[in-house]
Amino acid sequence: MFGAKVQIAALEKGIAFELVMVPFDRDDRYLPLHPEVARINPKNQVPVLIDTSVSDGPLELFDSTQLFEYLEDLKPEPALWQSGIAARAHTRQLELKSDEVFFPHVIKLFGLQDDMESAAAQAACAGCAAFYEYLEALLFHNDFLAGGYSYADIAFYVAQTYAERKGALMTTKTPRLIAWRERVGRRPAVVEVIAPMMQFLASHNRGVPLHLQHLLHETVPHRPQQPRSDA
């Protein structure tokens, strides 16, 4: 999820990159850790970024939100933070809420797909639904969460993709948010990242949300990357 956020942002900005997929399987998870991830990020998580173009040696960074900040400094246009101090702070807060307020509810749903009537699953879905209603109100006068398209939209779109897969569905109670999801989902950078994810899931007989099933037949550009070894 967090790597996908940064990948979409780099594509939106037209920044060239080499994509290195970290090996993963359903039994060992990310073990053994990719050596670059283990070396760069003390939290042992993706994404990490290595910029070899800087003059005084490779710059090594981690954390998706910090990478958003770096990409914005690296290539300010097209801007993905709003202009103005207050608007930019609001956008940053929304991006943070996707990761730190919304997604913890989604994490609670992991492993509960066969027990969605349980109290734990119902509480997690209620938490997601409350967040959906909060964002619905933000879209009353705007096409995107913070006014113009931004990192806040990228972060929540990817997080909600995981929520949908885990059973925290959007409903007709949030029609503006559903329309927002369709709008963001049509962006070429989003399609380029999300389509291979959905195709990979389908190839392993894992569920693909109904609103993303059209991506199963999408052809996306080939970009340089190391071979993927997911199992």
Q: What's the structural domain count of the chain?
A: 2
**pLDDT band, very low/low/confident/very high, at 33 (cuts 50, 70, 90):** confident
Q: Specify whether 61 is located in the same domain as 144.
A: no
Would you say residue 119 lies in a domain? yes
Same domain for 99 and 184, yes or no, is: yes
CATH number at residue 164: 1.20.1050.10
- Summary mean pLDDT of the chain: 91
Least confident span in 72-86, 159-173, 209-223: 209-223
Residues 134 and 67 in one domain: no
Domain of residue 24 covers: 2-74
* 177 & 117 share domain: yes
50 backbone dihedrals φ, ψ, rounded to 5°: -120, 115
**182, 211 Cβ separation under 8 angstroms:** yes
In sequence order, which ranges of 45-149 are alpha helices (DSSP H)? Answer: 64-74, 85-97, 103-109, 119-138
What's the pLDDT tens digit per position in 87-134?
999 999 999 999 999 999 999 999 898 899 999 999 999 999 999 999
Residue 129 lies in a domain: yes
Which of 173, 189, 205 represents a domain boundary (last residue)?
189
The pLDDT score that the predictor gives to residue 29 is: 62
Q: What is the mean pLDDT of residues 1-19?
A: 95
Same domain, 95 and 183: yes
Do 185 and 97 fall within a single domain? yes
Q: Is residue 58 part of a domain?
A: yes
**Same domain flag for 69 and 120:** no
64 in the same domain as 33? yes
- Could you say which of 11, 39, 74 is where a domain stops? 74
Same domain, 94 and 185: yes
Residue 100 domain-assigned? yes
Residue pair 208/216 in contact (Cβ under 8 Å)? The answer is yes
Q: What is the mean pLDDT of residues 73-80?
A: 96
68 with 148, same domain? no
Q: What are phi and psi of 29, to 5 degrees?
A: 55, -120
The partner residues of 148 in beta bridges, in order of sequence, read 146
pTM for the structure as a whole: 0.92
- 101 versus 43: which is more confidently predicted? 101
Q: What are phi and psi of 225, to 5 degrees?
A: -160, 160
Asked if the structure places residue 36 within a domain, the reply is yes
229 domain-assigned: no
**Calpha distance 96→98 (Å, rounded):** 5
Shared-domain flag, residues 155 and 99: yes
CA-wise closest residue to 158 among 187, 123, 120: 187
Burial class (CB in 10 A: 0-12, 13-18, 19+), 144: middle
Question: Do 103 and 179 fall within a single domain?
Answer: yes
111-143 burial by CB neighbour count: b if 16+ within 10 A, else e? ebeeeeeeeebeebbebbbebbeebbebbeeee
Q: Which residues pair with 144 in a beta bridge?
A: 147
What's the Cα-to-Cα distance from 64 to each of 41, 45, 138, 159, 209, rounded to whole Å?
12, 10, 24, 13, 24
pLDDT digits (tens, 9 = 90+) for 125-135: 999 999 999 99
